[in-house]
Amino acid sequence: MKPIFVKELFRYKLSDIQQIFNCEKELLNSFTNDLIKRKIIEKESSSYKFAYVGFIQFQGKFIFVMPKFIQEHHFDLYYPTIVKLFKEYNERENLNIEEVETFGDFENEEFYNLFKIVHFLLQDYDENGLYNNDKVEQELNGDGEIDWNRSIEQNQSYISGQNIMYLDFYTQKTISDEEDFIRKVHMFVLNQCSSFLKELDILDILGFPEVDYNIDFNELGEEDYILYKIDSEKSNQFLDRKLMLLDALYYFVSKQNSFKGESKPYLFGTRSFEIIWEKVCSFVFNNEYNKLQKFIPSPVWKDYNTLKETKRETLIPDILRKIDVYQLFFVFDAKYYTTTFNENGTLINNAPGISDISKQYLYEKVFYKYLDIKHYSFYNIFLMPTDGTDELFGETRFELFEALGPIFLLRLNAQKIFSMYSKRERYEEVYFKQLSTALIPYKE
């Protein structure tokens, strides 16, 4: 069962949303008001827009809000790619507080959510296996450590000269307690987690094996008893990994019914897909900002009374690449726009603003001044996502900087970019040579 797909920033009527979730009007109003308050939905007159990309789970139903640039006939194609992208992004990036709120944070109970818990439980199981409590058994003449006290008390001793000898020994063997109650709870919860991701058709996408232990929830007892046993186990554990696992089991068991029927929506996604686009492009294009930032001057503030000067933050370009072998310099700015020209060549929708354009030109002036790149070919480029093929589709110029040439508009196939990020692949230097060759006819 794949989720129902909707599109970011597309205008929906309230009746459309009601049909998606198939719920009573009163419950629908509660749902939409909650998401409006959380800035997931924006209301404009009688229409509603999802200002968000990712999962929304409500009343046992799931929708997935697709990025605005993806056409409906590509939803199935992009769904696994974006799910995998979210997994990688969560594991590799330092999330800001707004991202933590919508993606969840297992180490902060305030930001627990179903997706984060399920992912944690299956990841932990994949790495560490089932919960186990070791128990010690004794056996006669085994291979384990000798229990001298019991061996002396219960076995016949023999004297050989001045030595006392024992022909039989009791030894200790440490084994995993297969009947441990928490282990059985772990099995049941893993079954539910695996089934949950399988229903959404993302179990394989996330790389988790299917889990199907022969365990029935009814044999574990009432929910209150299970939670009591988990709490009791926590008081006897000191390992951080086991304590985190017990917290996750407690949360899942206590919330399993509300996941299916509670009126509160659960999220796994982002209000700011533009941040993801910027970070993904920064990785794939192998951003060299950290190496080159020392060449960017900072504004200086001077106090006339003390003559003291203070430097403040400076410009931070998205992506910088200096390709010495080909004498190329690129300043990229990843823009989450759907900039388009109509059949007559007229700009018809959103585009980077005057401040974005001005900054790109300032970067060019800065690096020409402070870097030894007078003989390098310099390229300013806006990077925008598309579900089509890579396309150089236009440019922008600003008369104040007419001597510096255009800023190119380049659409990138997002599926390829997202897949490269997930596989930790980067563009090699030859890509930038090929890109510069394609741009030469438009340079002047």
pLDDT digits (tens, 9 = 90+) for 284-341: 999 998 888 778 777 788 888 888 888 776 556 579 999 999 999 999 999 999 999 9
Q: Residue 378: helix, strand or coil by DSSP?
A: strand
To the nearest whole number, what is the mean pLDDT of the chain?
85
Please choose, from the candidates 258, 276, 7, the residue with its C-alpha nearest in 3D space to the C-alpha of residue 112.
258
Task: Count Cα neighbours of 189 within 13 Å in the Cβ-side half-sphere.
Answer: 33
Distance CA 259, CA 253 (A): 10
Each residue's pLDDT tens digit, 181-190: 898 999 999 9
Asked if 276 and 95 count as a contact pair (C-beta separation under 8 A), the reply is no
Distance CA 323, CA 258 (A): 55
Asked if 270 and 53 count as a contact pair (C-beta separation under 8 A), the reply is yes
User: Residue 410 carries which side chain, given as an amino acid letter?
Assistant: L
Instruction: Give the number of other CB atoms < 10 A from CB of residue 153.
Output: 9
For residue 355, what pLDDT is reported?
82
- Tell me the two tokens of residue 197: 């991701």
For residue 178, what pLDDT is reported?
46
Is the pLDDT assigned to residue 404 strictly greater than 60? yes
The gap from C-alpha 117 to its chain's centroid, in whole angstroms, comes to: 13
The pLDDT-based confidence of 68 (bands split at 50, 70, 90) is very high
Q: Would you give the DSSP letter of residue 345? A: S
For residue 317, what pLDDT is reported?
56
104-113, 359-368, 409-418: lowest mean pLDDT where? 104-113
Distance CA 150, CA 153 (A): 5
Asked if 363 and 395 count as a contact pair (C-beta separation under 8 A), the reply is no
Each residue's pLDDT tens digit, 121-156: 999 999 988 888 765 556 666 666 666 666 666 666
The pLDDT-based confidence of 436 (bands split at 50, 70, 90) is very high
Q: Which residues contact 318 (CB under 8 A, 6 or more apart)?
A: 278, 281, 282, 287, 332, 333, 334
Q: What is the mean pLDDT of residues 435-440?
A: 94
Is the pLDDT assigned to residue 256 strictly greater than 80? no
Please choose, from the candidates 329, 327, 337, the residue with its C-alpha nearest in 3D space to the C-alpha of residue 357.
337
User: Hey, where are the domains in the chain?
Assistant: 4-129+180-270, 134-176, 273-442
Instruction: Give the number of other CB atoms < 10 A from CB of residue 190.
Output: 24
Tell the residue number behind the tokens 């076995």, with chain if given. Answer: 155
**How does DSSP assign 115-136, residue by residue?**
HHHHHHHHHHHHHH-S---EEE
10-19, 107-116, 171-180, 379-388: lowest mean pLDDT where? 171-180
What percent of the chain has a predicted confidence (pLDDT) above 90?
40
Burial of 210 (0-12, 13-18, 19+ CB in 10 A): exposed
* Largest interatomic CA distance in the chain: 111
Each residue's pLDDT tens digit, 189-234: 999 999 888 888 888 888 888 999 988 878 888 888 999 999 988 8
For residue 172, what pLDDT is reported?
62
Three-class SS of 268-317: EEECCHHHHHHHHHHHHCCCCHHHHHHHCCCCEEECCCCCCEEECCCCCC
